[in-house]
């Protein structure tokens, strides 16, 4: 019984090794995506209204993710033929060509990622994993099946993580449209009293522990 327990990887964990079938052929995740950021997102089921709106929204932002060097991978426990037929339907009826691969996960894969929805049979939850080029999970979003995701927030999160990594800064709420500091970023807290004493001369600030600057 212990082996069947649903577990969920944590922030900072290596993304679990998965060998999967996709609409683009076999794939090893994260191995085949090493060196690139990627977003893996699951959906409850093909041919459902909310999931269809999400797939269209992800595809409409495909170029934004591409510009960030970030790949998209969809996933549910539906079989490959169902994925293919649904993607064909989206192209035929909605005139949207889905360019990213969609994984046909089995229950073991879904359980390894904590993606089976408790009390909902084999339906997968709306999970989002943002993974960095080293295969480390940097962000997780977890939605119930009745609530569609805001895909602009996924784009923003990838941008924010990249800016934070590159500049060693923290990112405020709603960035780049924060109510207090607009599009600026937050300077990490000082490590000692001497640094704290100098902070307000070096940066814009509300106090020595809340300093900010323009993004480099």
Evaluate whether residue 156 is within a structural domain.
no
Mean pLDDT, rounded, for 171-199:
96
- Phi and psi at residue 84, to the nearest 5°: -60, -45
Task: State the CATH number of the domain containing residue 212.
Answer: 3.30.1020.10
How many domains, in total, are found in the chain? 2
Summary mean pLDDT of the chain: 92
* Domain limits for position 195: 168-216
Are 60 and 141 contained in the same domain? yes
Q: Which SS3 state, helix, strand or coil, does residue 78 take?
A: coil
Question: Cβ–Cβ contacts within 10 Å for residue 67, how many?
Answer: 10
Mean pLDDT, rounded, for 127-145:
94
pLDDT band at 35 (very low <50, low <70, confident <90, very high): very high
Catalytically active residues are: 51
Are 51 and 112 contained in the same domain? yes
Evaluate whether residue 159 is within a structural domain.
no
User: How wide is the angle at C-alpha 168 spanned by C-alphas 151 and 193, nearest 5°?
Assistant: 135
Q: What is the pLDDT of residue 111?
A: 78
Evaluate whether residue 176 is within a structural domain.
yes
Q: What is the CA radius of gyration of the chain?
A: 20
């Amino acid at each position: 019984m212990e082996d069947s327990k649903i577990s969920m990887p944590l922030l900072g964990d290596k993304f679990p090794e998965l060998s999967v079938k996709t609409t683009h052929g076999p794939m090893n995740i994260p191995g085949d995506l090493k060196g690139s950021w990627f977003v893996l997102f699951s959906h409850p089921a093909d041919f459902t209204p909310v999931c269809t709106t999400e797939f269209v929204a992800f595809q409409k932002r495909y170029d934004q993710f591409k510009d960030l060097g970030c790949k998209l991978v969809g996933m549910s426990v539906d079989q490959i033929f169902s994925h293919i037929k649904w993607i064909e339907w989206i192209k035929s009826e909605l005139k949207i060509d889905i360019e990213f691969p969609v994984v046909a996960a089995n229950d073991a894969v879904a359980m390894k990622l904590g993606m089976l929805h408790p009390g909902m049979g084999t339906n997968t939850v709306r999970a989002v994993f943002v993974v960095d080029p080293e295969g480390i999970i940097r962000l997780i979003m977890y939605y119930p099946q009745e609530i569609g995701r805001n895909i602009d927030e996924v784009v923003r999160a990838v941008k924010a993580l990249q800016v934070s990594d590159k500049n060693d800064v923290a990112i405020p709420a709603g960035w780049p449209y924060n109510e207090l500091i607009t599009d600026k970023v937050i300077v990490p807290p000082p490590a000692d009293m001497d640094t704290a004493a100098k902070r307000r001369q070096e940066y814009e600030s509300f106090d020595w522990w809340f300093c900010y600057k323009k993004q480099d």
